Structure 1
Amino acid sequence: MNSKWFGFPKRQGKVAQQAHLGLPENTYEREVGKEGFFGPVTHFYHQHKPTGWVDFEGDNRPRAFDTNVFKSCQSTPWEAQVLLKNNSVKVRFLSIETSMDHLVRNADGDDVLFFHKGAAEVFCDYGHMHISEGDYLLIPKGTMWRLHISEPCQVLMIESTNGHYQLPDKGLLGPNAIVDAAVYRTPEINATFQAQYSEDTWTVMVKRLQKLSRIEYPFNPLDAVGWRGDLMPVALNWRDISPVMSHRFHVPPSAHTTFLGNRFVICTFVPRLFETDPAALKVPFYHNNDDYDEVLFYHAGNFFSRDNIHPGMITLHPTGFTHGPHPKAMNNAFKQKNAMTEEVAVMIDTRDPLEVCGAAEDVEWSDYVHSWKE
C-alpha cells in the first residue's frame, strides 16, 4: 500500500508569502521539515530568535571538534581513529606525512577522502592519480591503494559501511549542472604507474569488520596492464563544482549534494553569490532537521553563518533542536558587505543518529553550545 503525507497546506496568523522572502516585520523564520529538506514542511514566524536559549543540558546539544588539536601523525589510514559513527557511516581524520610502504584495502565499504591539506600521488589497482588540497577521492570497496606523499596531508575520511556511493539526481537542472562529468578524474596506467611494477615483497593491510589482516606478496600486486568498466576511483576538486543559486531564495543544503551514501549524503558548500533581492534571507535559515544529524567540516574561507569557527573544525548538530546562524551572522540576515560567500565546507547528513567517539571528545570545544548567546 502506497502512503503519502496529508498534503494540504494551511496557514495561521502573520506569515510570509513564500519561504525565506519578505518575512513579517520583527519576526524570525523557522523551518520544520521531514526527510532533510525533501519532504513536507512548515514555516513558523517567531517573535524571538529560536536559538535564544540561556541554558542547555544533556547530550543532545550542538557540538564542535577541532582537528587542529591532533598532534600525532599516522603511517597508514587504518591508524586514523573514528570520530563519529553509526551503522551506515564512519568519519575519521587522517594526518600523514610519510609515504606509505604498504597497500591498504577496505573490505568494509567505500571510502570518500577529502584532502584538507597537502598533496600526494595515489597508486591503486586502476593506476596512478595526482591528488592535492581540495580534492575528493572516492575509492570503491576492495580497492588496493597507497599514498606517496609530496606534501604532508590532512584528510577527512568518510566510509560508507552499508552500501556504495552514488551521484545525486539533478532533475530539471540537467546532466551538466553542479558537476559536469567531464571534470571527474580517474586513474591512468601511465609511465608513473608502470615505473612502480616490481618483484619486491609488498604487504597489503586489509580492514574487515574493523579488524586488520596482513597479506604478503613476493611482487607488487599493483601490476595491472589494463582495465575496462564503470567501477573505478574518481577524483573531484571543489573548485570544479558549480553551485546552485537563486537571486531570490536561499537554497537548502540538499541542493549542494555531491555524493549519496545509503542513509546519508555528502554535500559541498563552495563560494557563491548572495541573494540580490532586498527581501531575501541571506544566511541559512533557522530550522529543525528532525530526520537527520548534520555534520559540517570547515575547510577554508570565512564561514558567514558561524562565529569562532576556523578551518579544520567539525560541528555536529543532532536532530531534536532548532539551530541556525549565530547572532552576528543574523545581524546580516538581509544584507551582506561582500557580493558572495567565501566559505568551503563539507557536510555529512545522516539519517541515523551519530555516536561521538572518544577521539572526538578529546578535541571538543565544550562551549560551542553557548556560542549562540548574544
Structure 2
Amino acid sequence: MSGDARKVAEGLTYLTGFGNEHASEAVPGALPLGRNSPQRAPLGLYAEQLSGSAFTEPRAHNRRSWLYRIRPSAAHPAFTRIHNGTLRTAPFTESVPDPNRLRWNPLPEPPAGTDFVKGLWTLGGNGDATQRTGMAVHLYHANASMDRVFSDADGELLIVPERGGLLLRTEFGLLRVEPGEVAVVPRGVRFRVDLLDAESDRGPSPAARGYVCENYGAPFRLPDLGPIGANGLAGARDFRAPVAAYEDVEEPVEVVNKFCGNLWSAVYDHSPLDVVAWHGNYVPYVYDLRRFNVIGTISYDHPDPSIFTVLTSPSDTPGLAGVDFVVFAPRWLVGEDTFRPPYFHRNVMSEYMGLIEGAYDAKAEGFVPGGGSLHNMMSAHGPDRETFERASAAELRPQKIDDGLAFMFETRWPVTATAQAARAAHLQRGYDDVWQGLERHFPRTGFA
C-alpha cells in the first residue's frame, strides 16, 4: 500500500486484566474525557461503538469498544461477491462426519503471491455460522503480505503461527505474533496481515504457515479455575493488546468481508484502519504460550487434559465448551508408577491437534509441525505402539518435556471434514497403522 500513511510505532500494552476496560490514543487528546459520544469528538474525529455482544448481555460478558476514527465505518460503497477460494464455513454439508481417525501432513507450498486470506484452507468444523454456534479449523500458507484489508463477521479468529511471524495491522494498532505465540482478532475487527521479513537482502523469505480456529460462538475467555484456585494456567496479565496506531490513507483500498460463509469485496477511497484512539474491552490481543503456567501431578496418574486449557468459548451448558484452546507447553513429568505419555482415550469432545515445533510425546513419527490430526467424538486414540512400548519400560526419573509445542482445538460437536480435506493429497492414508502391533499380553486361559 502506497500513499501518505501515518503508522505510529509498533507497541503493545498488557491488558492487566483479561476482559477489563482499556484505552489507548495515538495522538494526545484524541480520547474524549467522561463521554463516549460527545457532541463533537476531539480533533475532528468520529465516535463509533463496536459491539461484540448484545447490548443487554450481563456486564461481566459484555464486550464493546469505542473507536475514534478519521472516517466512520459507514462511509463505504456496496460490497460484491468474490470467490471463496479454499475457504469454507459451517454448516458443513458437503461431507458427512467421519468416525475414523485422520491425520494430515502440512499444506503444500502455495502459488506465488498468496496472501493470508487467499492462503486460508478449511479442514472442517461444526455448528452454523449464521446461528453463531460452533467453530471451524483452517490452515494458512502464505508467501505475500496483504495489500487489502480483511474482516470476519462470522467469528473471531485465533491465529496460531507455526512457521514465520506475522504483523497484524488492526483497527486498534499493530500486533506482532511469532511461532510460539497466538493472536486473537475479534469478530468484525478489520486487519491486514504482513509477513515479517517478507523481503530481505537474501530475497523473499520462506512462506508463513500456521493454523486458525474460527470461533462462531461466545468470545474466548479465560477458563474458571475451580479447585486450582486463584493462580495457574494462563495469567490475565500476560495477554497484550496493541497501542493505538492509524493509517491516514486517501487512496483506493480493497476491503474483504467474510459474511455468512462468503467473501465480499468493496473498494474504499480510504484506509479503514484509521482509528486514532480507542477504549473498551473488545480488542485484539496476543499471548505467549511459553508463559502458560502448567499444572500437573506431583504424585501419580494424570489430571485430565483440561488442565492445559488456555482459552474457552462457553456454551449454554456449563462446563461444555463450544471450543477450547489447549496447549501442551514445556513441563516436568514426575509421576510415580504412572504411564506418563497421554493415555489411551475416548472422549465425548472432538479434538483437532496441531504441532507448532518439535515432537509430541505420544507419537513417535508422522505427526509433524504444520500437520494435524482429527479425533472425532468417541474415536479411540492414544500413544502409538512405539511410544507405548518405550514408556512402559522407561525408568521413571523426573523428566523435562521441552522439545515440542503442541496444541488442540477441542469442541463439543463432531468436526465434519471438508471435501477438500477428505480428498487431500497430504492426508495420511495409513494413520491407523500407528496402532498396529499392540499385542495381547493377557493370558488366553486366564488366571489359575
Q: TM-score, normalization: structure 2?
A: 0.66
Mapped to 2, the partners of 1:79 and 1:208 lie a distance apart of 18
Q: For the Cα contact (< 8 Å) 1:118–1:132, is it kept in 2? A: yes
Q: Cα offset for 1:70?
A: 4.8
Match of 2:429 among 350, 366, 369: 366
Mapped to 2, the partners of 1:224 and 1:172 lie a distance apart of 42
1:63 equivalent in structure 2: 102
Distance 1:106 1:315, change over 3 A: same
Q: Cα offset for 1:155?
A: 2.2
2:408 equivalent in structure 1: 347
Q: Does 2:304 match 1:252?
A: yes
**Matched residue SS, 1:200:** coil
Match of 1:322 among 367, 380, 405: 380
Query: Which deviates the most, 173-182 or 214-223?
Result: 173-182
Q: For the Cα contact (< 8 Å) 1:275–1:281, is it kept in 2? A: no
Corresponding pairs, count? 311
Query: Which deviates the most, 361-370 or 337-346?
Result: 337-346
Mapped to 2, the partners of 1:305 and 1:349 lie a distance apart of 17
Q: For the Cα contact (< 8 Å) 1:271–1:343, is it kept in 2? A: yes
Amino acid at match of 1:340: K
Unaligned runs of 5+ in 2: 1-96, 128-133, 198-206, 316-321, 438-448
Q: For the Cα contact (< 8 Å) 1:126–1:187, is it kept in 2? A: yes
**Matched residue SS, 2:213:** strand
**Matched residue SS, 2:240:** coil
Distance 1:145 1:175, change over 3 A: farther
**Matched residue SS, 2:306:** helix
1:292 equivalent in structure 2: 349
**Matched residue SS, 1:100:** coil
1:306 equivalent in structure 2: 363
Q: Cα offset for 1:158?
A: 0.6
Query: Which deviates the most, 222-231 or 63-72?
Result: 63-72
Match of 1:85 among 97, 101, 125: 125
Match of 1:126 among 172, 176, 180: 172
**Matched residue SS, 1:81:** strand
Q: Cα offset for 1:164?
A: 2.1
1:141 equivalent in structure 2: 187
Q: For the Cα contact (< 8 Å) 2:357–2:369, is it kept in 1? A: yes
Among the aligned pairs, what percent are the same residue? 21
Mapped to 2, the partners of 1:338 and 1:154 lie a distance apart of 34
Amino acid at match of 2:190: M
Amino acid at match of 2:214: E
Mapped to 1, the partners of 2:252 and 2:212 lie a distance apart of 28
1:356 equivalent in structure 2: 417
For the aligned residue pairs, the C-alpha RMSD in angstroms reads 2.0
Q: TM-score, normalization: structure 1?
A: 0.78
Unaligned runs of 5+ in 1: 1-57
1:52 equivalent in structure 2: none
Q: Does 2:234 match 1:179?
A: yes
Distance 1:269 1:206, change over 3 A: same
Mapped to 1, the partners of 2:396 and 2:107 lie a distance apart of 29
Mapped to 2, the partners of 1:216 and 1:175 lie a distance apart of 48
Query: Which deviates the most, 88-97 or 175-184?
Result: 175-184
